[in-house]
Amino acid sequence: MKTQFAQRTTKETRDPITNLVQEMRIRNFSRKTIIAYVYYNKELLRFANKTPKEINRDDLRDYMDYLFNAGKSSSTVNLAINALKFYYEGIMQRKFFMPKTGIKRPKSEKKLPEVLSKIEVVNMINALDNIKHKLIIQILFGSGLRVSELIDLKINDIDFIRRVINIRQGKGAKDRISIISSQTLLNIEKYLKEYQPLVYLFEGHEAGEKISVRTAQKVVEAAAAKAGINKDISAHSLRHSFATHLLESGTDIRYIQELLGHARLATTQIYTKVANNMLRDIKSPLE
């Protein structure tokens, strides 16, 4: 009896966020999602200075208002809502986000993706001396990977015979393949001989350890600066550019959807708004 009471007490008095982490692990959420959901749930408790059982709808509204006043984007606030909804509705069984009476989501910002021309990408690659850094740009642009997928690439994910990249457990825990250029494959062979990584294609100072997302982002930012590109460029800009150039070259949008790993075609369709081939035949009234 004493042992059973001790076990029950430990479970009931542990950090309430532990239940959140356990539930996400059981559902096979990604490490990135777990970190984000834990962060926003802990931030809400600090903001309101309350326990989860004491949190009410007004606390959630005040926290959303605080995030917007702090300059957070609607996508960030929506991520916070996802985190709080998962915990308070999915685990605590509290209906704060009912369709008619609950907290509403902010309108998404309708921003077009920043797209680089092929010449700009070539200039970025040529501006770099390090073959490892060149390859980061080449794979992000030439294969359309997310930066998180890039750093997770392992050496045996590169299929030199079929000329494809195997992306393991990408966003949504899905495997997929993407294309890779013959020139990039040649550069990978040279890179492997020179750097001799053990596990990951792009390893840091510690053998067998992958580079960080921030390291990859810095490589892209440095390349853009050296190439004299005056745009707000990130690693994701190269993914946007990959999709846009494929669309402009006539690739079926459903193939692009598969290459990008988008669950919904509507997500891919944003590139139709920036694809230049759809505008070329329209003449300005001043022509």
Same domain, 132 and 263: yes
- Any catalytic annotation for residue 205? no
Give the Cα separation of 130 and 134 in Å (integer).
Answer: 6
- Any catalytic annotation for residue 245? no
Residue 222 in domain:
yes
Same domain, 74 and 133: no
- Choosing from 146, 176, 210, 240, the catalytic residue is 146
Same domain, 241 and 171: yes
Tokens read off for 257: 């959807």
Residue 172: its pLDDT value, please? 62
Mean pLDDT value across residues 74-92: 89
Same domain, 175 and 253: yes
- Any catalytic annotation for residue 50? no
Residue 28 in domain:
yes
Confidence bin at 8 (pLDDT 50/70/90): very low
Q: What is the pLDDT of residues 227-244, one digit of tens each?
A: 999 888 899 999 999 999
Quick check: 10 pLDDT over 80?
no
Residue 170: its pLDDT value, please? 63
Residue 7: its pLDDT value, please? 41
Quick check: 22 pLDDT over 50?
yes
Residue 179 in domain:
yes
- Any catalytic annotation for residue 171? yes
For residue 38, the enclosing domain spans 14-88
| The domain boundary residue, chosen from 88, 107, 139 | 88
Mean pLDDT value across residues 67-92: 88
Residue 230 in domain:
yes
Number of domains in the chain: 2
Same domain, 76 and 141: no
* CATH number of the domain within which 59 lies: 1.10.150.130
Residue 25 in domain:
yes
Same domain, 189 and 130: yes
Q: What is the pLDDT of residues 139-188, one digit of tens each?
A: 999 999 999 999 999 999 999 999 999 998 766 667 899 999 999 999 99
Cβ distance 201 to 152 under 8 Å?
A: no
Residue 84 in domain:
yes
Confidence bin at 73 (pLDDT 50/70/90): confident
Same domain, 63 and 190: no
Same domain, 240 and 141: yes
Residue 279: its pLDDT value, please? 63
Residue 99 in domain:
no
- By CB atoms closer than 10 A (0-12, 13-18, 19+), residue 110 is exposed
Same domain, 24 and 66: yes
Same domain, 127 and 266: yes
- Choosing from 262, 273, 280, 283, the catalytic residue is 262
Q: What's this model's pTM, rounded to 2 decimal places?
A: 0.70
- Choosing from 105, 132, 154, 171, the catalytic residue is 171
Residue 160 in domain:
yes
Strands, sheet with 158-159, edge to edge from the N-terminal-most edge strand: 158-159, 164-170, 174-179
Spell out a b/e string for 62-89, using b for 16 or more CB atoms within 10 Å of the CB, else e. Answer: ebbeebeeeebeeebbebbbbbbbbbbe
| The domain boundary residue, chosen from 66, 88, 110 | 88
Same domain, 142 and 81: no
* CATH number of the domain within which 201 lies: 1.10.443.10
Q: What is the pLDDT of residues 23-70, one digit of tens each?
A: 898 888 888 889 999 999 999 999 999 988 899 988 998 998 898 888
Confidence bin at 197 (pLDDT 50/70/90): very high
Same domain, 37 and 137: no
Confidence bin at 99 (pLDDT 50/70/90): low
Residue 64: its pLDDT value, please? 87
| The domain boundary residue, chosen from 39, 72, 88 | 88
Neighbours of 179 (CB within 10 A): 15
Quick check: 218 pLDDT over 60?
yes
